[in-house]
Structure 1
Amino acid sequence: MSCGLDEDCPFPANDDLFDDTFAVHDVYKFMGEELKICQLFGANLGVAAPVWEAALHLCGYLEEQQVCLRGKRVIELGAGTGLVGILAARVGAFVTLTDLPLALPQLESNVSDNSPSCGWPAAPPIVLPLSWGVDHLRFPSDWDLVLCTDIVYLPETYPLLLETLTHLCKNGAVVYLSSKMRREHGTPGFYDECLTSRFNVELLNRDDQQNINIYRASLRTDH
């Protein structure tokens, strides 16, 4: 997740995170697909540049559990490099990748670099800007899956994320969230208190070594 130029935006650009701009190209293999992902490290992208371990964990979990993605309507929040959403599209999902405006060129480039020679099995991923709690109502609520990897790290954004997830899941979407459990950022509290205020939340997987949890959530019917 990165931030645009709006001074009121709650997502910091981390302008001092990287002094130079450089690209790192890596290849990842999941579900029989080979994904070429460019990570563009530079002051503008900040935390949206890397492929975070939580994203790799979610890809691995979806592969190991043989979660059906073909034909599903999928939206990814804070997509960053787009690894998870692009994987879903490569195996036949209808995917929308979202992040703040500065991250979109990297997303679009990675989508283009991963276009199958014989065409996308369902449709090319759509790349759109989405600021949580601000313009989420522009998006529909008819998704099957909402994917989130390592986007729970700024407490001031948690109510905005909750509002966005509530809207996206009104018609029964299931959310998969993979997070580094950063106590200093209140990440456990988001899952234990904030998310559970509106969602049924289930811990699916815990990696003690990496301190990464994978959750599944669905909007409570009594909400």
Structure 2
Amino acid sequence: MTCVGDEEDDPFPVDDGLFTETFSLDSVFHLMGEELRIKQVFGANLGVAAPVWEAALHLCRYLEDESVLLRGQRIIELGAGTGVVGILAARMGAEVTLTDLPLALPQLQANVSANAPSDGWPVSPTVLPLSWGQDHLNFPSDWDLVLCADIIYLPETYPLLVETLAHLCKNGATAYLSSKMRMEHQAQSFYEEFLPSRFNVELVHRDDEQNNNVYRATLQ
């Protein structure tokens, strides 16, 4: 997810020093038998939305290992960044909406377009802006899955994220959240305090080497 904003009290502030120069990197990932070509555009504007984070790959592998049904499912991804998770789900036959803050959308849309199957998408993915806790009510609540990869890093956004997740999961969606458990981002606090305030939360996978957890959450 991108950190953008102009106001000091904006919950999504700019981190101008994160990347001092702009450059791009084209990477190929082989997941669920699919080959994804993902462009990562590094620069101050995109910030943390630029790279493919390991947590995203962990989530893709978890969905494959656990044979989570994707085909025919209505899926929304929050803080999609490069889009690797949502694009993979769309390639597997899901009806996918990928969301992030506005500045991340050109990179996200470019990666969606670059990964269209030669015979066309089963269902064309949609790319839309979504700022947590601000415009989430513009989105429906009839999803099957809500996917989130490495979006737990700004504690001031945690209440907004929980509010957004509660709306999206109102009609029974299951959320899968994959996170590197960084102490400096109080990730443990999000999963032990913020998310359980509204959700039933279960740790379903732990990678000790990468310090990455995958959680499954359903609205209480």
| 1:91 equivalent in structure 2 | 92
Contact persistence 1:145–1:173 (CA under 8 A):
yes
Q: Distance in 1 between matches of 2:217 and 2:133?
A: 19
User: Do structure 1's residue 128 and structure 2's residue 128 form an aligned pair?
Assistant: yes
1:34-57 CA-partner distances (Å, limit 9, x unpaired):
000000001110000000010010
| 1:110 equivalent in structure 2 | 111
Q: Distance in 2 between matches of 1:11 and 1:56?
A: 24
Deviation at 1:12?
Answer: 2.4
Q: Distance in 1 between matches of 2:174 and 2:219?
A: 8
| 2:2 equivalent in structure 1 | 2
Q: Distance in 2 between matches of 1:198 and 1:65?
A: 25
| 1:176 equivalent in structure 2 | 176
SS at match of 2:116: coil
| 1:187 equivalent in structure 2 | 187
In terms of mean alpha carbon deviation, does 93-102 or 182-191 score higher? 182-191
Q: Distance in 2 between matches of 1:47 and 1:212?
A: 17
1:137-192 CA-partner distances (Å, limit 9, x unpaired):
00000000000000011110000000000000000000000001111211101101
Deviation at 1:6?
Answer: 4.2
| 2:162 equivalent in structure 1 | 162
SS at match of 1:71: coil
Q: Distance in 1 between matches of 2:78 and 2:186?
A: 19
SS at match of 1:148: strand
| 1:60 equivalent in structure 2 | 61
Deviation at 1:5?
Answer: 4.0
SS at match of 1:172: coil
RMSD, matched Cα: 0.9
SS at match of 2:99: strand
Contact persistence 2:206–2:212 (CA under 8 A):
yes
1:119-148 CA-partner distances (Å, limit 9, x unpaired):
001x21100000000000000000000000
SS at match of 1:86: helix
Q: Structure 1: which 5+ residue stretches go unaligned?
A: none
Q: TM-score scaled to structure 1, two decimals? A: 0.96
Q: Distance in 2 between matches of 1:135 and 1:6?
A: 18
Paired AA for residue 70 in structure 1: R
Q: Distance in 2 between matches of 1:3 and 1:204?
A: 28
| 1:206 equivalent in structure 2 | 206
Paired AA for residue 115 in structure 1: A
Q: Distance in 2 between matches of 1:198 and 1:115?
A: 37
Q: Structure 2: which 5+ residue stretches go unaligned?
A: none
Aligned residues between the structures:
219
Contact persistence 2:109–2:127 (CA under 8 A):
yes
